[in-house]
Amino acid sequence: MKTASAAILLLFATLAAAQEDAPQVYTRWESFGKEEGLPSDKVFCVAVDQDRIWAGTDRGLALYEGGTWKTYTAAEGLAYDVVVSLAVDPVTRDLWAGTMGGLSQFSAGQFRTFNQFNSGLPNDVVFGVAVENQNIWVATTTGEGRYRVREGRWDVYTPENAPQHEPWGYAVDYADGKVWAALWGGGVLEFDVATEKWQAYRDPDGEMEVDLFRDDGPISVVNPSVSFREGLLWVATYFGMSSYDGQRWRGYMDHDTGLASNFVNFIKAKGKVGWACTDKGLSAVDRDTNRWVTYAPATGPMDYTGPWEARVFREGELLQKIPLEKGLANNYIQGIDFQGDEVWVATSKGLSHGSLESPSLGAR
């Protein structure tokens, strides 16, 4: 009995420390899949719009509102049923959905679709989308595009007019007057909105799969995702992840940090915390304190149906393993977004919701 009481006290002490030292430890998880109303268990992306949650799946776009799910497909006007990227305009609350067959705008309950035949969209495969003031940016397989909504015209950026030797765009992000683009084999591009000038960031090693000097730039030029908040740039690669504060690069790999895996599908910043969506779990790190929290199956990466745990690291040292009553839907993580102090996580087996409170009814 004394042993159990000591364990409970240790758990509460760990959670209390988490409140003061970001990232927080989420001990309450619930998940949604087809049984709960999603069109598919395969969720590629998620976007939070105040009290509404949007999820992009391989069988349509899903909206969670008022405790229920509603699905939109090509039959309702969506460009294509496979939705791989989402962005919400914070002013108009319009949703922009990047699909494998075009870009869709959902406004006032109606869809408007952009493709190569009816607009200046660079390519119909839209891996990334972001809102920049009154403009919409996309990352496609043949370059980046900027749709000037008020003017109704497109700017297209390719190796011909931007410092990129690969046109394949994977992701775009906007914050603090700059647009960031992540490219396959092309590194990261920065676009200054005020000057309309580009700058490129690439791994100086020149190696695609091997990082010779970890902190000299992005770990690799294969960059599936990028995020910029509070003066910090976060870069995802398939060989680790990197951060940049404007002066110094820092690289992270799974063998000596808390990173769940070097294969990082998606990255998103909240404050100075970078959240890495990997093929073996979800990890979060505070750039200032180098404190990590990783969510992963307790018995190994392939046992996602078994018990889960939150692992707390600092400076690469494992400090604590916290058992979770419920884990995420799957450890192959593809996207994340934030709803206040709560998180929504897209996985290959459903959408998961992490909170500091008890899970709501209606989810598994």
Mean local confidence (pLDDT), 219-236: 95
pTM: 0.91
Residues 6+ apart with CB under 8 A from 144: 122, 137, 138, 156, 157, 162, 169, 172, 181, 189
pLDDT band at 208 (very low <50, low <70, confident <90, very high): low
Structure confidence at residue 43 (pLDDT): 98
Mean local confidence (pLDDT), 274-291: 96
Mean local confidence (pLDDT), 96-123: 97
The domains of the chain, with CATH numbers, are 2-355 (2.130.10.10)
Mean local confidence (pLDDT), 49-56: 97
* pLDDT greater than 80 at residue 85: yes
Is 24:17 a contact under the CB 8 Å cutoff?
no
Q: Of all residues in the chain, what percent carry a pLDDT higher than 90?
A: 81
